[in-house]
Structure 1
Amino acid sequence: MARSRPPFHRLTSAERRLWEAYPTGAWVDLREGHEVDPSSGGPWGSKGMWGRSRVVRAEVISALVLDRGVGGSARVPGVRLAGARIIGDLNLSDATIEAKVHLLDCHIAGTVSLNDARTRGVRLRRCDILRFRASRATIDGLLDLDGSTVHAGVRLDNAHVTGQLRLSGTRVGTPGEAPYREPGADPSEAASWNGPEGSEEPRTWESVALWAGGLAVDGSAFLRDMRATGGLRLIGARFSSGLYLQGAVVTADGTPAVHADHMQAAAAELGAGFTAHGTVRLRGARIDGVLSFHGSVLRARGRVLHLSHMQADELILLPESIEGEVNLGYSRFGVLFDRPDSYPGDVRLNGLTYESLRGPATLADRLSWLRRDPGGYLPQPYEQLAAYYRRIGHEPDARRVLLARQRARRRTLRVPGRLWGRLLDGLVGYGYRPWLAGLWAALLLATGTAIFTQWPPHQIGLDESRHFNAFVYTLDLLVPVSVFEQRGAWEPAGWTQWLANGLIAAGWILATALIAGASRLLRPSNAP
């Protein structure tokens, strides 16, 4: 097949070299041994390094990859270009591209657009780019922006990457930042980078560095050591082989640092130096493996972690530093691995379920954990913790948790309920400490026995001879129903009559408390 002729009257030397190399996919390296920072490629850059000999127009690259008549070689055609200053917008939207595009150490002062395109792997490594767009694109292979700087945001909403997504070491700004313009461009055109009035881009986009709602990545997504000035929007995204953000720093202003509601991933690593200045929100997400915040730094005003209504096989919440509220409400975790200082502020736990707890936390730490819920007393967190202790065979700890639940509930009652609750607590520990009733009974029995031995009552019926036993008499007073027939046979005199009546009342109170406590103890844990 004959090679197409260039559709341009004049090509720069760099463009001509690229045109000749394209059919074989050979590299065109314009760096000439210089280690050039692509961010210096604008008009303020050194002319010696970024002169006309290194200029390639974006429309030339577009013409190459979109011209299917270019061929004639057994090798796969492609654009492989290093060290070029690319001017203009590289617009490949709506195209089907068979050739690979690999740019290295290039300065791209315009927008790279792959919206609605279908293409093979795209690699823009260590490049300096105004903006990258690939909304609804299908990329068969690798999408690689490792080490690049994208000044006005990356947009991948509803895109599909069949290979890996790589943004490791990438620096990403937001469309709200000052745009990068070609020399001589009309300053009034700057507004177009932020979405003109009436455009399809919502103004929220201005504060988002990576907009990737609905993104599907069949391989792994590596965002390690990324620096994002703006949020990462990953709502509904799917990462079949995991999302990895170790060492990334995300600084968001007025928007969540990570907004990943309903995200699905095989694993999500947000630890090992991951830093978020803003809320990390994964409401309704599903992680089939581990969600890790081990060694992360998390700071936000108000809520720092919003992990409600989500599922994960294991949540590792061991941050190096954390500031703000944590919300784990209505989530399900197989394993929750944390420590007491994982929750420096409020923590919402209502509806949270877990199979196992790990970490250096004592029972006192766990009870303090439950008391930090800003919603006040809620029974479910206590019942869940007690069920966990019972499941692992720690019945005494489970009883202590349920006793703490009753004490927390008591603070929500009116005065009569609080008084009755204090009485139940003091006498039998709401039924979870029944041995207290035995102590009270023993104390009253000993007191009554000692006093009635010193001041015995008078016999009522003098026609028969009876022997008085102070211990049996006191025991008969304490039992709600007379068993030993001592009450009717002896009558205390003077102040001891008040003691006898007090022992009878105490016996009824103890019996009532034991019955009430037993009913609480035997009631199913899910009862109101």
Structure 2
Amino acid sequence: MDPAEAPPLLDDLTPMEKKVIEGARRGVRTGSGTTESAEALATTDDPALQVRADLLRELLMGRRGELDPRGVSIRGFRVMGRLDLDQVSAVAKLELTKCALPDGTSMRGARLRDLFMVGCVVSSINGDRLRTEGNLKLQGISTSGPIRLLNARIGGQLDLDNSLLKNPAGPAVNMDSLLVTASIFMRGVKATGTGESGTIRMRSAQVNGQVEITGSRIENTSGPALSAERLRVDNSLHLKRSTFSGCDSHSTVRLTSANVVGQLSLEQATLRNSRGAALHADHLKTGGALHLMGANMEGGGTEGVITLFGAQIDARVVLTKMALTGETGRLLNLANATFKQPLTMPSSLICRQAETNTGKRRCASSDRKISVRGFVFTDLEDITWRQWLHLLVHHTNKYFPQPYQQLAATERAAGHDNNARTVLIVQQEDLRRRAPEALGGLAALWRHRIWGWLGRYGYRAHRLVATLLLALVLAGALGYGAGQVTTRPTHHAAERVLPATAPVDAPGTACSTAELIGLGIDRGLPIGATGLRSRCDLDTGTRWGQAFTYAIWVLQALLWALATLAVAAYTGLVRKPA
């Protein structure tokens, strides 16, 4: 601003305002000496407890002479009028302690050193496009309107610890596209907002340090509690021991496409949502661990109480001791998620269904559903492969082959080939149970069922060999039985072969037991022969002989099929991960 166009300096300064100027020049804090609370100061008429906002602006602009580097520091005053620091390039820092700013403050496009508001009551703060060289400390403040820091750049840390933040007409804190060089601290905060934008907004914000929203209570009666889509945190994101209450069809805590270089922790956090998911973190990326141990999640939507669709977690994932409450079937959505380190899950997900019309709470095992289509992990901890397999069969909302293949691959990589085969067998059974249309018509279903009974879908080839041997025993039994059936006097359905020159009415000669058993095996074998039929054979000229011949033909066809399947099973030709 041209000095000629600058507004004139305040001339009717009060004695207290003169002390404020003198204190700024000497670098000491000016106190009002009052013991009144900041809330009481908001309505005081005592001139000794008042400082005009325009004077603070003049001081920060350097229009009251050279100031001490320690800046302007006042305690226990009511700031009269709106503290307008728009576009101000401050020459010193500003520190307000236990002051009241009933008309709020605006710092749009300002360039400040450090700004401290500690224990103050302020109606609202508009810091869009604010730039600070150092810290922005809003510790222990109380607001009745929004704090806006859109596109702001904080050169140090942002501190909102122990603050009481309220906005009846929108977000309590809006930090979209904020850049913080250090860390954000919101420990012990109580924040209440309204609307679909969320109570605390951090969309597309970037924090070069860590973010701590711990021991806090964040509420929204008509939207999400925390909206942090596309948030980038170069250290860790801690939401531990905090309560997030929302009413949004999407979620209470939104971390969609967020990127956390360190760990993400929601240990012992409580997330509640009567209309949608509790935690929505689709496409989340973390370079550190994901800790949900001891978290209490309550959701009311169809997407899942926790949804991590397409998430990528590069370190440990700890999901133990969670309590999940859902009004619908699905609780956990891990579809297309990738966990690159061992996964620690509860052996049984805790579920508390909403009350039914009869007033009773219902939670059957079939109600606990998770979605794991495309889910990728390297190892399992705490939960065994059998428990995970049980979860896939009984607690997923739909059949998908990939989770079974993933579990089998994980067990095979650990050297547990037998476990892997068991997983793939159960997969085929689940396929027939929940997706029979993928197999074809009724005949295909029966073929699939028989194939499962005979050879366990090719993953238990020894069962085929055992069945093959049983069929050979049955063939031998048929041969022996044919030698015991009389067709006419002195003749049997199976007997010694008479010479071609023997008369037609020549008496028959019984075969030995070994010959009869060998006859059955010889006729039943798909390939090869023992040569016994040249000495002992079925008399196909009789009805009994023909009956035994037909029976052995059936066995021979079965033996052909079993032998073929056994060879195919051992070579892996019939193993299909459908």
2:172 paired with 1:209: yes
- For 1:52 and 1:216, locate their aligned partners in 2 and report how far apart those are by CA, in whole Å: 39
Q: Secondary structure of the residue that 2:528 maps to in structure 1?
A: coil
Aligned partner of 1:264 in structure 2 is 232
User: Which has the larger Rg?
Assistant: 2
1:384/1:109 CA distance change after superposition, 3 Å: farther
2:333 paired with 1:333: no
- For 2:211 and 2:151, locate their aligned partners in 1 and report how far apart those are by CA, in whole Å: 17
Q: Secondary structure of the residue that 1:386 maps to in structure 2?
A: helix
2:309 paired with 1:316: no
2:470 paired with 1:470: no
- For 2:292 and 2:417, locate their aligned partners in 1 and report how far apart those are by CA, in whole Å: 26
Contact kept? 1:445, 1:475, Cα under 8 Å: no
Residues 102-121 of structure 1 show CA distances to partners (whole Å, capped at 9, x for unaligned) of: 11111211222222212111
CA positional deviation for 1:142: 0.8
Contact kept? 2:234, 2:260, Cα under 8 Å: yes
1:413/1:86 CA distance change after superposition, 3 Å: same
Greater relative contact order (Cα 8 A, min sep 6): structure 1 or 2? 1
- For 1:155 and 1:486, locate their aligned partners in 2 and report how far apart those are by CA, in whole Å: 98
Contact kept? 1:299, 1:323, Cα under 8 Å: yes
From 339, 348, 351, give the equivalent of 2:333: 348
Residues 5-55 of structure 1 show CA distances to partners (whole Å, capped at 9, x for unaligned) of: 9922323343222122112331012244x2x43233333xxx5xx733212
Aligned partner of 1:173 in structure 2 is 166
Match runs of 1:63-82 below 5 Å = 63-68=58-63, 70-71=65-66, 75-76=68-69, 78-82=71-75
Aligned partner of 1:220 in structure 2 is 183
Aligned partner of 1:152 in structure 2 is 145
From 337, 340, 343, give the equivalent of 1:358: 343
- For 2:19 and 2:547, locate their aligned partners in 1 and report how far apart those are by CA, in whole Å: 117
Q: Secondary structure of the residue that 1:8 maps to in structure 2?
A: coil
Contact kept? 2:519, 2:532, Cα under 8 Å: no
Q: 1:354 corresponds to which letter in structure 2? A: F
From 4, 20, 23, give the equivalent of 2:22: 20
Aligned partner of 1:179 in structure 2 is none
Count how many residue pairs are aligned between Structure 1 and Structure 2. Answer: 482
- For 1:21 and 1:311, locate their aligned partners in 2 and report how far apart those are by CA, in whole Å: 50
CA RMSD of aligned residues (A): 3.5
Q: Secondary structure of the residue that 2:405 maps to in structure 1?
A: helix
Q: Secondary structure of the residue that 1:141 maps to in structure 2?
A: coil
From 403, 412, 417, give the equivalent of 2:435: 412
Contact kept? 1:104, 1:126, Cα under 8 Å: yes
1:514/1:62 CA distance change after superposition, 3 Å: farther
From 217, 237, 254, give the equivalent of 1:281: 254
CA positional deviation for 1:373: 8.0
1:55/1:304 CA distance change after superposition, 3 Å: same
CA positional deviation for 1:401: 3.6
Aligned partner of 2:403 in structure 1 is 381
CA positional deviation for 1:482: 2.5
Aligned partner of 2:49 in structure 1 is 54
CA positional deviation for 1:62: 1.5
- For 2:550 and 2:322, locate their aligned partners in 1 and report how far apart those are by CA, in whole Å: 55
1:331/1:89 CA distance change after superposition, 3 Å: same
Contact kept? 1:262, 1:283, Cα under 8 Å: yes
- For 2:186 and 2:523, locate their aligned partners in 1 and report how far apart those are by CA, in whole Å: 78
Residues 190-230 of structure 1 show CA distances to partners (whole Å, capped at 9, x for unaligned) of: xxxxxxxxxxxxxxxx2x22211111112111112211113
Residues 437-467 of structure 1 show CA distances to partners (whole Å, capped at 9, x for unaligned) of: 3444455455555565455572695559895
Residues 69-119 of structure 1 show CA distances to partners (whole Å, capped at 9, x for unaligned) of: 521x6x315221111122321121222113111111112112222222121
CA positional deviation for 1:331: 1.6
Contact kept? 1:166, 1:222, Cα under 8 Å: yes
CA positional deviation for 1:375: 6.3
Identity value in percent: 25
- For 2:461 and 2:427, locate their aligned partners in 1 and report how far apart those are by CA, in whole Å: 17
From 455, 459, 473, give the equivalent of 1:432: 459
Aligned partner of 2:125 in structure 1 is 132
- For 2:264 and 2:89, locate their aligned partners in 1 and report how far apart those are by CA, in whole Å: 37
Contact kept? 1:154, 1:211, Cα under 8 Å: yes
- For 1:475 and 1:14, locate their aligned partners in 2 and report how far apart those are by CA, in whole Å: 119
Match runs of 1:230-269 below 5 Å = 230=193, 231-269=199-237
Q: 1:350 corresponds to which letter in structure 2? A: A
Contact kept? 1:116, 1:136, Cα under 8 Å: yes
Q: Secondary structure of the residue that 2:172 maps to in structure 1?
A: strand
If the length of structure 1 is used for normalisation, what is the TM-score?
0.80
Contact kept? 1:346, 1:373, Cα under 8 Å: no
Contact kept? 1:135, 1:159, Cα under 8 Å: yes
Aligned partner of 1:503 in structure 2 is 555
Residues 321-361 of structure 1 show CA distances to partners (whole Å, capped at 9, x for unaligned) of: 11232211212112322238465543222211122223232
CA positional deviation for 1:125: 1.3
- For 1:403 and 1:498, locate their aligned partners in 2 and report how far apart those are by CA, in whole Å: 35
1:323/1:483 CA distance change after superposition, 3 Å: farther
Stretch moving more, 513-522 or 120-129: 513-522
1:358/1:447 CA distance change after superposition, 3 Å: same
1:59/1:369 CA distance change after superposition, 3 Å: farther
- For 1:350 and 1:472, locate their aligned partners in 2 and report how far apart those are by CA, in whole Å: 59
2:252 paired with 1:296: no
If the length of structure 2 is used for normalisation, what is the TM-score?
0.74
Stretch moving more, 13-22 or 233-242: 13-22
Stretch moving more, 6-15 or 243-252: 6-15
Contact kept? 1:351, 1:380, Cα under 8 Å: no
Q: Secondary structure of the residue that 2:452 maps to in structure 1?
A: helix
Residues 375-427 of structure 1 show CA distances to partners (whole Å, capped at 9, x for unaligned) of: 62333333333333334444444334433433343322324444333333333
Q: 2:517 corresponds to which letter in structure 1? A: A
2:446 paired with 1:423: no
